[in-house]
Amino acid sequence: MMSESRRNRRKSERNKQQPKSAITRKDKVIALIVIVMIFVVAAIAAVYYSLSKSELTLF
């Protein structure tokens, strides 16, 4: 009786020690794609802004 409750208490302590937010490989790939997309959009916006400043029409 006594050893069983001790074992359960140890098991619950072990489960608490697991990382709360484990980032999966899929999440890392999605984050990388989003960062690249933001960079591309920012680059296009910068080019478009500089062309509009110099009075050229792009579209």
Q: Is 10 helix (H, G, I), strand (E, B) or coil?
A: helix
Is the pTM higher than 0.75? no
Give the pLDDT confidence score for residue 9 in this predicted structure: 77
What tens digit of pLDDT does each residue of 26-51 get?
Answer: 999 999 999 999 999 999 999 988 88
Q: Give the alpha-carbon dihedral of 31, 37, 42, 47, to 10 degrees.
A: 160
What tens digit of pLDDT does each residue of 10-19 get?
Answer: 777 777 766 6
Tokens representing 57 are 């029409």
What CA–CA distances, in Å, run from 12 to 16, 38, 45, 50? Answer: 6, 42, 52, 60
Identify the CA nearest to 43 among candidates 5, 35, 55, 22.
Answer: 35
